[in-house]
Amino acid sequence: MVMNRDICDLSRGELVTLKTQLDAAYAELCGRNLKLDMSRGKPAPDQLDACSGALTDPFGSFKAEDGADARNYGVLEGLPEAKRYFGELLDLDPARIIVGGNASLNLMYDMLMRLYVFGVGGNPPWRTFRKVKFLCPAPGYDRHFAITGELGFEMLTVRMTPTGPDMDEVERLVADPEVKGIWCVPLYSNPQGICYSDETVRRLGRMKCAAPDFKIFWDNAYGVHHLYEETPLYDIFKACEDGGNPARAYYFFSTSKITFPGGGVSIFATGYGEHAEIVRHLGIQTISYDKLNQLRTIRFLKDKATTKKHMEKMASFLRPKFDTVLDTLDRELAGTGLATWTKPRGGYFVAVDVLPGCAKRVVELAANAGVKLTGAGATYPLHHDPADSNLRIAPTYPSVAELAQAMELFCLSVKLAAVEKLLAK
């Protein structure tokens, strides 16, 4: 088989020969009857087992430190010790923080619904505008784009660079008053693992937006999810305050990938000026989030130092998986001209760009052989990747052995899709 030569340079005859070899290899892999799901960034069971203490440690007392009974109604903004814990962990003032339920996605959805229905800060509700546009750095997180899509916003794709979204483009776009916000995953972005530079964050904070209620949805989903060294992240609230825009950022975080995706604790932090207004709306929506889960989670994670140690353990589960992905990509695809990919230092994903027009076919080939990948296009607004090129690999759920097989199939599918494409020219 032709190994790691630029396949795009092969003659037609060489391509036909290669295709025969790839078809045979693909048939062999199909025969293994794989059944793997790499479509979502789910922690693996052994990772979750390492968090069991959060569920099985005896409860001791149901009282929060201020005497509130965590079992009963009340404490809308979250237990004081939970606010303090997240404040220490993320260098946030606890006074900014609202502690929510098990899903930060739901907090983002709720905040967008509030902006749409009620507006904030004395600005008109977004439903009253003829058109609302939202900046979507892409590739990005499909569930973000699904929310702004459901609200009928026009989603403007912004190219990602190694230091975050293309800020020249962002600054140009926010001069349009219809542009009301931007989605950001600032650390180990989903799916590329890109970390925003200090300058990117500062520019987001100080840029001149025509919309007075332009909002940054700062989803720091992987804020403590380092695979190797710690990557620093510039304080978005400081950037916005220094830029004269103290109400610009909404900060989201959760323990979904620290303890349990299905039963973690989420938080939402805002500029000081809007906190009371949002809490007032929240008080109409619910009486209180699950404070027992706050107590349970915070007693397990304790403090920043304990959580860092815990996340080092989590990283020890994940590193061999990321290594398997990257080693296989290197071995099978380096030098072939068929793909480029990122080497994230944290987070939950690896992004691969294949030959234009091939991503959908790769997903199809992998699926037919028993491996479910994230749908092609999912990382773009409305599931439309204009180049049909970007693929997201979610290596966290399968075991290393399963992953090795899945990646073998993935790389083979990339080659096969490319050769099909080249032969069809």
Comparison of 171 and 277: residue with beta carbon closer to its own copies:
277
When the beta carbons of 52 and 368 are compared against its own copies, the nearer one is 52
The Cα 67–Cα 81 span in angstroms is 11
- Can you tell me the distance from the alpha carbon of 60 to that of 37, in angstroms, rounded to the nearest whole number? 39
| Radius of gyration of the CA atoms of the chain, in A | 23
Smallest CA-to-CA distance from 191 within 350, 355, 410 is with 350
Is residue 48 close enough to count as binding its own copies by CB under 8 A? yes
Min dist CB 353 to its own copies, Å, is: 26
Does 304 engage in binding with its own copies (CB under 8 A)?
A: no
Q: Of the two residues 59 and 228, which places its CB atom closer to its own copies in the complex?
A: 59
Q: Which residue has the tokens 């509130």?
A: 68
The answer to whether 129 contacts its own copies (rule: CB under 8 A) is no
Q: Which of 350, 331, 333 is nearest to 8 (CA)?
A: 333
Give the residue with the Cβ less far from its own copies, 252 or 341: 252
How many C-beta neighbours within 10 Å does residue 331 have? Answer: 13
40 binds its own copies (CB under 8 A): yes
Q: Judged by CB under 8 A, which of 2, 10, 25, 55 binds its own copies? A: 55
Which stretch in 2-10, 39-47, 313-321, 356-364 sits in contact with its own copies by CB under 8 A?
39-47
313 near its own copies (CB under 8 A): no
Residue 121 engages its own copies in binding (rule: CB under 8 A): no
Tell me which residues in 230-259 interact with its own copies (CB under 8 A): 256
Binding-site member from 286, 306, 316, 340 for its own copies (CB under 8 A): 286
Single out the residue of 370, 368, 365 nearest to residue 34, CA to CA: 370
Q: For the chain, how long is the longest CA-to-CA vector?
A: 78
Tell me how far, at minimum, the Cβ of 74 lies from its own copies, in Å: 8
User: Residue from 43, 140, 181, 193 that binds its own copies (CB under 8 A)?
Assistant: 43
Nearer to its own copies (CB atom), residue 285 or residue 340 = 285
Three-state SS at 196: coil
The rounded distance, in Å, linking the Cα atoms of 247 and 276 is 12
What's the Cα-to-Cα distance from 264 to each of 51, 290, 336, 339, 397, rounded to whole Å? 11, 10, 42, 36, 18
Looking only at residues 354 through 373 of this chain, which bind its own copies when binding is defined by CB under 8 A? none
Stretch (H or E) spanning 38: strand 36-38
- Interacting positions 80-119 with its own copies (CB under 8 A): 101-103, 105-106, 109, 113, 116-118
Smaller CB separation from its own copies, 40 or 238: 40
Residues 251, 254, 257, 259: what is their CA dihedral angle, to the nearest 10 degrees?
Answer: 160
Tell the residue number behind the tokens 């499909």, with chain if given: 142
d(CA 352, CA 343): 10
Tell me which H or E stretch contains 372: strand 371-373
Say whether residue 281 binds its own copies (CB under 8 A): yes
Determine if 58 is a binding residue for its own copies (CB under 8 A): yes
The alpha carbon dihedral of 56, 263, 253, 321 has a sign of: positive
Q: Contact between 76 and its own copies (CB under 8 A)?
A: no
Question: Across the beta sheet with 154-161, what order do the strands follow?
Answer: 97-99, 266-270, 249-254, 215-219, 179-184, 133-138, 154-161, 164-165
Specify whether the CB–CB gap between 252 and 90 falls below 8 A: no
Near its own copies by CB under 8 A: residue from 290, 323, 330, 364: 290
- Contacting its own copies (CB under 8 A), which of 5, 71, 309, 384? 71
355, 333 Cβ separation under 8 angstroms:
no
The smaller minimum CB distance to its own copies, of residues 255 and 390, is found at: 255
Beta bridge partners of 350: 393
Cis peptide before 381 (omega within 30 of 0): no
By CB under 8 A, how many residues form the interface with its own copies?
50
Tell me the per-residue interface mask from 146 to 185 with its own copies, x by CB under 8 A, - otherwise: xx--xx----------------------------------
**Which pair of tokens denotes residue 129?**
């505008």
Residue 52 CB, nearest approach to its own copies (Å): 8
CA distance 405 to 370: 11
Of 75 and 240, nearer to its own copies (C-beta) is 75
Beta carbon nearer to its own copies, 87 or 264: 264
* Interaction site with its own copies (CB under 8 A): 40, 42-43, 45, 48, 51, 55-56, 58-59, 62, 69-75, 101-103, 105-106, 109, 113, 116-118, 127, 143, 146-147, 150-151, 256, 260-263, 281, 284-293
